[in-house]
Structure 1
């Protein structure tokens, strides 16, 4: 993005997650231990990739690296990318055996067709609707033919400004909820084959959606 104006939502997301990086990591470090459905979804993603020719897997929007660490335990050659330098710093400290890079999903510094898999685990939730197709095109560009993509996001419809979070720290990001059908439609338009849509309801009025797709 050098030489180009960085969109306001990118700047706001970077600053917000820099602000909450340490508290976010502390609050969610062991969250997967109490989430059997999420572990199962990630395990299915790992199983799909283990059945295909080996290759690197990018955890895009990796935050403090907790999901990258879990996928490494599942036998994947995973590395993380995050917009927030603060998050990358925490991830490198907590998972020293995994590579973490600073970068934006709008312009990945990854070679064409070089990845076996891409994970976007609740990292598209701050991307405006009109920017999502470009992000999905980036995911397709970096995946090799037959590569696997898993997208996790907040299900529903509508957007809400998040002005505070993770221990009361100030934030300035919009959280976008989307029906799984809409995300699947965007994926098909980007050239992906959608294999599955899953909906998880861990508590009333809270829904997570997960879409598996292939390049």
Structure 2
């Protein structure tokens, strides 16, 4: 089987401009998600937007006073956004020091990681967030994983891995992240939002 992460990255490289335009406006619940993060960590805190794409949420995080950096595996997605303070990176091996972040934001990006690799990604999230830090995570809700056509023109493929709250809670707990709240939303697919903290 082709490498799911590499193929998905290649698809995003091709569709970066279309994706940036389509996703520019975001969705209404983003305000609540940002408000929650701001209630957990103070203005001026260091936050990484992991899987930032063209940087819609990165700009919002900076707009409410966080010192935010953006990380994404697709160089073309980063270019499409035109933001400074971004870097190409694989979330399975984040180029960040242990405990250097006050918060981590991962919006609809972990869903492209095959289930077998999710524990190592969550371990990386826990490694780079300081004790007391906060994690915002949104994934596709459901069961299974596999290839899907991207829907932005052309015939490129993206890998989607679906999650349920109970199993994701267990995976987060295994790396020292405690789920504080969860949300269930529907925007052209079911979404599971998890608000977690590194309590020790």
Tell me the equivalent position of 1:36. Answer: 28
Aligned with 2:57 (options 37, 50, 67): 67
d(CA) in 1 for partners of 2:64 and 2:155? 35
**Long gaps (5+) in structure 1:** 1-6
Tell me the equivalent position of 1:8. Answer: 3
Tell me the equivalent position of 1:126. Answer: 112
Tell me the equivalent position of 1:182. Answer: 167
Tell me the equivalent position of 1:56. Answer: 46
Matched, 1:99 2:85: yes
SS at match of 1:208: strand
Tell me the equivalent position of 1:3. Answer: none
The change in CA–CA distance for 1:211 and 1:164 in structure 2 (over 3 A counts) is: closer
Tell me the equivalent position of 1:211. Answer: 194
Stretch of structure 1 that moved more, 136-145 or 152-161 = 152-161
- Aligned residues, how many? 197
d(CA) in 2 for partners of 1:21 and 1:74? 26
d(CA) in 2 for partners of 1:125 and 1:49? 25
d(CA) in 1 for partners of 2:130 and 2:23? 32
d(CA) in 1 for partners of 2:111 and 2:24? 20
CA contact (8 A) 2:114 2:160 kept: no
Tell me the equivalent position of 2:147. Answer: 161
CA shift for structure 1 position 55 = 2.9
d(CA) in 2 for partners of 1:126 and 1:202? 17
CA shift for structure 1 position 202 = 4.5
Per-residue Cα deviation, 1:137-193 (whole angstroms, up to 9, x for no partner)? 001111111111111011111224123422x13322221221122211110011112
CA contact (8 A) 2:50 2:109 kept: yes
CA shift for structure 1 position 125 = 0.6
SS at match of 1:141: helix
CA contact (8 A) 1:199 1:210 kept: yes
Stretch of structure 1 that moved more, 114-123 or 151-160 = 151-160
CA contact (8 A) 2:101 2:133 kept: yes
Aligned with 1:145 (options 131, 136, 142): 131
Matched, 1:173 2:155: no
CA contact (8 A) 1:46 1:71 kept: no
